[in-house]
Amino acid sequence: MTAQRAGERAKLKIGPEHVAWVKEEMCIGCDQCTIVCDDDAIELYDVKMRSPIINVDINKKAKILREPCTGCGLCVLSCPTDAIVMIDR
Ligand code: SF4
Ligand code: SF4
């Protein structure tokens, strides 16, 4: 873990008063967050591709289910694009 990553981890808002949030524009639909979430609090949904130069019909985005989310923060650490943040519940 890099020093920068360790610093970010120390600043994470973790706990039941917090909930994860996905910045949709930064999510690449890689599915890493759903693998680490033990509480089944993340779903992927389909969105249409906006770029006319990429020949793929559907892209995936992650969505947090607020009720089952325990605020553990694991998904934030798993996301390769830093698309997930922890916010106040
Ligand atoms: S904070 Fe924890 S419980 Fe909530 S979505 Fe992320 S991994 Fe799942
Ligand atoms: S790990 Fe990040 S980029 Fe991958 S699906 Fe989850 S939120 Fe999106």
Specify the CATH number for the domain of residue 26: 3.30.70.3270
Low-confidence ranges of the chain (pLDDT < 70): 1-10
Strand partners, 63: 43
Evaluate whether 77 touches 3 at the Cβ level (below 8 Å). Answer: no
pTM attached to this predicted model? 0.85
Torsion sign across C-alpha atoms 75, 78, 79, 85: positive
User: How many domains are contained in the chain?
Assistant: 1
User: 17, 32, 42: which to mutate for ligand 1, most atoms within 8 A of CB?
Assistant: 42
Q: Distance, CA 33 to ligand 2 centroid (Å)?
A: 6
pLDDT of residue 5: 61
CA atoms of 44 and 39, how far apart (whole Å): 15
Q: Which domain holds residue 72?
A: 3-88
Q: Distance, CA 53 to ligand 1 centroid (Å)?
A: 34
